[in-house]
Structure 1
Amino acid sequence: MTDDCAECGFAYDLELAPSVAGLVGGYAARFAELLLHGERAVLARRVVSGVWSPLEYACHVRDVLLVQRERVLAARRAETPVATPMGRDERVEHEGYALQDPADVARQLTDAASLFGNVLHRLPVVQWERTLVYSYPEPAERSLRWVAVHTLHELRHHLRDARRGLPGPPTVGN
């Protein structure tokens, strides 16, 4: 089974894992830029029914970073813990994603990337192979290498999604 993403072209190269700590900050900065330079009403608007707004995607990514950080820490403390689903769809309403202040979310997302990156940066080489049971898309035992690369995919993919929800020509690059 391959985890590569046909939609955005992301390839799950697990050898990339040790560099993820440095890469997540760049994607968080791109999200922050989008949030700090967009109009609040535009950022919070869903262009297509059932598809999150750019602000909602940014909130989701912030929360993904925080949840993934805790999952990595749990895998360091226990043998093959089971990662509890984060309730991604429920959080949109429960936390009022579309009502949050874009500047606050930009700061929080940047902080979350820093926290997640720090945990990965401090991960000893021998612990990259530690595992946890990851529930998405179906329960499977995954290494911390995979968790790191999957988190990078989340940032890259959802930055693309967020940009699609903004007016104007499509943005080139990730």
Structure 2
Amino acid sequence: MDIDPDTKDWTWVLERPCPDCGLAAGEVVPTEVSARVLADLPRWEDVLRRAEARVRPAPAMWSPTEYACHVRDVFVMFDQRARMMLTQDDPLFANWDQDETALEDDYASQLPSEVSTQLVAAGRAIAATFDGVLADEWNRTGRRSNGSTFTVGTLAQYFVHDIVHHLHDVRG
């Protein structure tokens, strides 16, 4: 069975706590995001070592491996976006259809051990990017195609919610 596409605009997580995972992303200090990412990488590795890592808990719900593939790709996408914001004036981000990516890249068939290696590398890369942000760069801006505007700081907060939320999804 296919997974229903996620069509929500999750930017509200910057304004109020997520009722599912409990994170108040707007209260996360942006300079602490890289440390949080690095601290969560071993938890993702543990999830991907589970015997049932490729098993969907319900027909219309991603397996832990599929969630990890998504998180890996979120690491890469947000790293690209943060770098754009740090090197360009108010860049417009290309649209990214996460559900289309999951199908095209066949998340369901990927090997947990390979995903783990890729996820850790991508997590370390974005952590390094956020670690390298200078004090006067946190307010640089960028825009999504739907009109949502972010600073580097709010992008970091929005991003960290995705990681925490999906760890909650897989009981990491």
Return the match for 1:96 from 106, 124, 140: 106
- Counterpart of 1:19 in structure 2 is 32
1:71-86 aligned within 5 A: 71-86=81-96
- Counterpart of 1:28 in structure 2 is 41
CA contact (8 A) 2:16 2:26 kept: no
Seq. identity, %: 28
User: Following the alignment from structure 2 to structure 1, what is the Cα–Cα distance between the partners of residues 111 and 117?
Assistant: 10
CA contact (8 A) 2:143 2:150 kept: yes
1:136-147 aligned within 5 A: 138-147=146-155
CA contact (8 A) 1:59 1:105 kept: yes
User: Following the alignment from structure 2 to structure 1, what is the Cα–Cα distance between the partners of residues 28 and 67?
Assistant: 27
**How many angstroms does 1:112 deviate by?**
0.7
**How many angstroms does 1:69 deviate by?**
0.3
User: Following the alignment from structure 1 to structure 2, what is the Cα–Cα distance between the partners of residues 82 and 161?
Assistant: 30
- Counterpart of 1:156 in structure 2 is 164
Return the match for 1:118 from 128, 133, 145: 128
TM-score when normalising by structure 2: 0.86
Instruction: Provide the aligned C-alpha RMSD in A.
Output: 1.6
User: Following the alignment from structure 1 to structure 2, what is the Cα–Cα distance between the partners of residues 131 and 109?
Assistant: 26
Letter in 2 for 1:5: C
Alignment deviations for residues 92-135 of structure 1 (CA, whole Å, 9 cap, x no partner):
11111111111111111111110001111111110000111135
TM-score when normalising by structure 1: 0.85
- Counterpart of 1:170 in structure 2 is none
Structure 2: gaps (5+ residues)? 1-11
CA contact (8 A) 2:81 2:93 kept: yes
Query: Are 2:71 and 1:58 equivalent residues in the alignment?
Result: no
